[in-house]
Structure 1
Amino acid sequence: MRVLHLIAGAGGMYCGSCISGNALVRALREAGIETFLLPLYSPLRTDEPNQSEPQVALGGVNLYLALRFPRLRLPRFVRRWLDHPAVLSWAGRRGETTNPESLGPMCEAMLEGRFASDHRLFDEAIDWIRSEARPDVIHLNNALLLGLAPCLKARLGVPVVASLSGEDVFWRRLPEPYQRRTKDLLRLRCGECDGLAAMNGFYAGFFAREIGIELEGIEVIPPGISVELFAPSAMASSGGGPCRPAPRQRVIIGFLSRICREKGLHTLIEAAGKILARTSRTNDSADWRIECAGYLSRSERAYWEQCLRQVAELGLADRFVHRGELDLSGKAAFLQNLDIFCLPSVIPESKGLPVFEAWAAGVPAVLPAHGAFVEMVEASGGGLLFHPNDADALADCLARLISDAGLRQHHGRNAREWVRRNHTLSAWAGRTIAWYHRVLSRYHAGRSSSTTG
């Protein structure tokens, strides 16, 4: 079997869908599946070794020009220069190229399939796919790319499937009429593809309800991560057992995600302020601090400054450490050094991949009781849930774990073992390969029946 993954780049920022898609391609290759990864819009930025082809299809600059100036006819050498990864990376750094508020028209055009039918922009990609990838299955990394599906199926004669991967984060921020139009087009395009897969039952159900499609048409394929990469050295030296270093006096609470309002860092800071106020009243001498890390875009710097002011106003300056943006080894070391992981997302999460990574390090998590987190915590016993966007409830959960090392170790051990059993990259690849085989069987059966009919 030969598989082509088309993954939308995120304009130079770290993106959970890009990182997970890149990891899945590596896992499929390690499982013996001939797999190709072609970036769309811009080069991928990942924290693991990049598995993508060197070229970019449907470069974002050319797409923008085609939408803004539909009668513009650039020479081929200019279009190819504008699609060069270095140019696209530079353009991504210069502007917020993935900002939903400004991308409504482009999103609509993509879902309508306008760019796929524009031979100036798509022919070279089709030629490369035919000559180099020669796929049996094409896998789109999110449903917002489904406008490509009719063209790909018609010109290449293979099934097209798509992952469901947090599209709601994008469409929630689209202004009207683009938000409504995006959902209408997604409903149409989902009916034209050959398979949809979500990472968990929550997002499968949420997407089906929001878009208005049948839940039975969505497979649930749980994700995997590089589990051993995050194992603390104490685990590795003991053969991978579910142990962590002995509890220390200072408890470190960690936040690792893109720094933006949706991920809820401000809620964690507010909760920390409440814990500090409580301990001051009770003369509690508990020693703890917050460490945060993650990608910070230019558009979120005002939010970050607000968080820093909040830290100062709540008297947390000596209990708050910013570790900046981390590479892969830095991320592993960061997680291995934590006692508690907290990701108080404001909106329901569709994936929760940083939580899987923290759990692989044996770190218990405190998470809001919405989105994928509910079924993750209930299945694993890997932490505590609190009422979403409630700083008092978050403070209560954090205080319980700060004061009880045994409880932290209990939840951390549960989390580590659950991830090791269920969420390795090899398990993810195996589940995905089985899905591809089912898709191919249905596709060829449908073609045979239409031919004989």
Structure 2
Amino acid sequence: MRILLGADTFAPDVNGAARFTERLATGLAGRGHEVHVAAPSPDGAAGTHAFGDVTVHRVRSHRYPLHESFRVCLPWQAGPATAAILDEVRPAVAHVQAHFVVGRGLAVAASASGTPLVATNHFMPENLFAHGRVPAFLQAAASRWAWRDLRGVFGRAGAVTAPTPRAVELLTGSTGLPATAISCGIDAARYAGGVETPGTVLFVGRLDQEKRVDELLRAMAAVPGARLEVVGDGTEREAWHRLAGELGIADRVVWHGFVSEEDLVAAYRRCAVFCMPGIAELQSLVTLEAMAAGKPVVAADAMALPHLVRPGRNGLLFPPGDVEALAASLRTLLADGGTRRRMGAASREIVAGHSLDATLDAFEAVYARVARRVETAPVAA
């Protein structure tokens, strides 16, 4: 099958949606499909290049002034560009990963041409409020508008998916669109192995407001002797560096920034506990990766994280914003190696239900169903 994925973020970007699209594309190509990706250019210029066995079509992009690592495409440029890519590739199915600019352009073009269309949602309004600098008093109205906008794009699709049942519940409740839960999936074997460094807590993710790393730093101040490793970068980097100094824990926090895949796997393997304090996780691919490495997880009891973290089995949940409860959970696990080993084994068992092969199977079935539905649709007289 010839498949065209539309993404508003893709490698070399480092975030959950980009990593999922990369794994989906390479996984499908590995199964013999002809896979193309339309995505923003990382340097501004349009062009086409090979990404392993995947062909990537880059759409002209521009630096986003409010975020140093974001590239954005202008709608009046991306619309014609994605339509041209669709016309060139002529896929059996198009699959958009967002409703923003590239995804929107591809969805509109696919709808107009009768190309079977699938849409996957990785979006929550909270993910963008800080980047768009939306004042608190406008956020409720902005959220309603954002969901209406998403419905206008994803409503064109023959099938809509989201990574977890909670993500489906949010999407359907906010837009009325029916959707199916398909996990982002993970190749768990690559994370196995390594030796734990006792007393080490790991966070991986964007250093942006909704990730609540400030709460983790405050909790670490109440866990004497523990060491925190932070992998990732974002808009709150400098503020949180300053906070670590103000809390007197700067010597116990290592800020790695963006790292290679090999270094990321090594960080998962050596940590004693993985922590995800974020409140806007539709699945949390990094939590899945830590679980694949056999780690217990301390996570906020928010959004989809309870789908992954089973209290007492493979980790602990804490009420979002409750720094004291977060610190207590970290102290409990860091002090008990036997519990960490038991919970780490349970993490691996849970991850087995999120295999990348199962995800690829599910999307292949969706593609075949949507393509078949278009082929058998009656032709108007």
Query: What range describes the TM-score normalised by the shorter chain of this pair?
Result: 0.7 to 0.9
Q: CA deviation at 1:225?
A: 1.8
Q: Is the 8 A contact 1:166 1:351 kept in 2?
A: no
Superposed, which structure 2 residues align to 1:87-126 within 5 Å?
91=63, 96=68, 98=70, 110=75, 121-122=80-81, 125-126=82-83
Deviation, 1:134, is 2.5
Aligned to 2:47: none
Structure 1 residues 128 and 310: CA distance shift in structure 2, 3 A: closer
SS of 1:14's equivalent in the other structure is coil
- In structure 1, distance between residues paired with 2:159 and 2:219: 42
What is the aligned partner in structure 2 of residue 225 from structure 1?
Answer: 186
Partner of residue 343 from structure 1, selected from 269, 272, 276: 276
**C-alpha separation between the residues in 2 aligned to 1:274 and 1:443?**
59
1:43 is displaced (CA, Å) by: 6.5
**Deviation string, structure 1 residues 117-152 (Cα, Å, up to 9, x no partner):** 6xxx33xx5444334x32110000123333542332
Supply the AA of the counterpart residue of 2:112.
A
Provide the residue aligned with 2:219 in structure 1. Answer: 271
| Structure with more of its chain in strand, by fraction | 2
Change (3 A) 1:308 1:115: closer
Other-structure match for 1:368: 300
* Correspondence for 2:368 among 410, 431, 437: 437
Question: Aligned with 2:258: secondary structure?
Answer: coil
Report the equivalent of 2:117. 160
| Structure 1 range deviating more: 175-184 or 145-154 | 175-184
Distance in 2 of aligned mates of 1:186 and 1:317: 41
Q: Report the alpha carbon displacement of residue 255 of structure 1 after superposing the two structures with TM.
A: 1.1
Counterparts of 2:255 and 2:159, CA distance in 1: 42
TM-score (norm 1): 0.73
For 1:116 and 1:288, the matched residues in 2 are separated by 48
Amino acid at match of 1:166: F
Q: Kindly indicate whether the alpha-carbon contact (under 8 Å) linking 2:228 and 2:253 is maintained by their aligned counterparts in 1.
A: yes
Which of 409, 423, 427 aligns to 2:358? It is 427
Shift of 1:22: 0.8
Where does 1:167-186 land on structure 2 (aligned, <5 Å)?
Answer: 167-170=124-127, 172-173=129-130, 174=132, 175=134, 180-186=144-150
1:60 equivalent in structure 2 = 61
Measure how far apart 1:198 and its partner are: 0.3
Within a 5 Å distance, the mapping from 1:312-351 to structure 2 comes to 312-345=245-278, 347-351=279-283
Aligned residues: 366
- 1:289 matched to 2:227? The reply is yes
Which amino acid counterpart does residue 142 of structure 1 have in structure 2?
Answer: A
1:367-398 Cα distance to aligned partner (Å, 9 max, x none): 00011101111399321111111101101111
Distance (Å, rounded) in 2 between the aligned partners of 1:92 and 1:190: 25
Corresponding position of 1:262: 210
Q: Cα 1:344–1:196, aligned 2, differ >3 Å: closer, same or farther? A: same
How far 1:159 moved relative to its partner? 1.1
2: CA distance, partners of 1:393 / 1:126: 51
Contact 1:254 1:335 in 2 (8 A): yes
1:136 matched to 2:92: yes
Structure 1: which amino acid aligns with 2:16? G
Please tell me whether Structure 1 or Structure 2 has the larger radius of gyration of its CA atoms.
Answer: 1
Change (3 A) 1:329 1:93: farther
Give distance in 2, aligned partners of 1:199 and 1:218. Answer: 10
Unpaired segments of 5 or more residues in structure 1?
62-90, 234-244, 277-286
Pairwise CA distance, 1:52:
5.1
* TM-score scaled by length of structure 2: 0.85
Query: What does residue 163 of structure 2 align with?
Result: 199
> In structure 2, how many angstroms separate the alpha carbons of the residues matched to 1:362 and 1:30?
27
Seen in structure 2, the aligned counterparts of structure 1 residues 160 and 349 have a Cα distance that, compared at 3 Å, is: same
Shift of 1:185: 2.5
Matched-pair contact (CA < 8 Å) for 1:137–1:159: yes
Offset, 1:288: 2.6
Q: How far 1:407 sits from its partner (Å)? A: 0.8
Corresponding position of 2:48: none
1:390 matched residue in structure 2: 322
The 2-side partners of 1:54 and 1:436 are apart by 20
1:170 and 1:344 map into 2 onto residues whose CA distance is 14
In the alignment, the residues of structure 1 paired with residue 69 and residue 347 of structure 2 have an alpha-carbon distance, to the nearest angstrom, of 37
The structure in which a higher percent of residues are helix is 1
Whether the 8 Å CA contact 2:288–2:308 is kept in 1: the answer is no
Give the 3-state SS of the residue equivalent to 1:389 in structure 2: coil
- One-letter amino acid matched to 1:255: F
Task: Give the CA deviation at 1:164.
Answer: 0.5
Would you say the 8 A contact 1:9–1:18 is kept in 2? Answer: yes
Give distance in 2, aligned partners of 1:50 and 1:379.
Answer: 40
Deviation of residue 259 (structure 1)?
Answer: 1.6
Instruction: Tell me, in whole angstroms, the C-alpha distance in 2 between the residues paired with 1:366 and 1:159.
Output: 41
Query: Aligned residues: percent identity?
Result: 25
What runs of 5+ residues in structure 2 fail to find an aligned partner? 45-50
CA distance 1:356–1:398, shift in 2 (3 Å): same
Q: 1:7 Cα shift?
A: 1.2
Question: How do residues 49-88 of structure 1 correspond to structure 2 at under 5 angstroms?
Answer: 53-57=55-59, 59-61=60-62
> Partners in 2 of 1:349 and 1:195 — Cα distance?
22
- CA pair 409-9 structure 1, distance change in 2 beyond 3 A: same
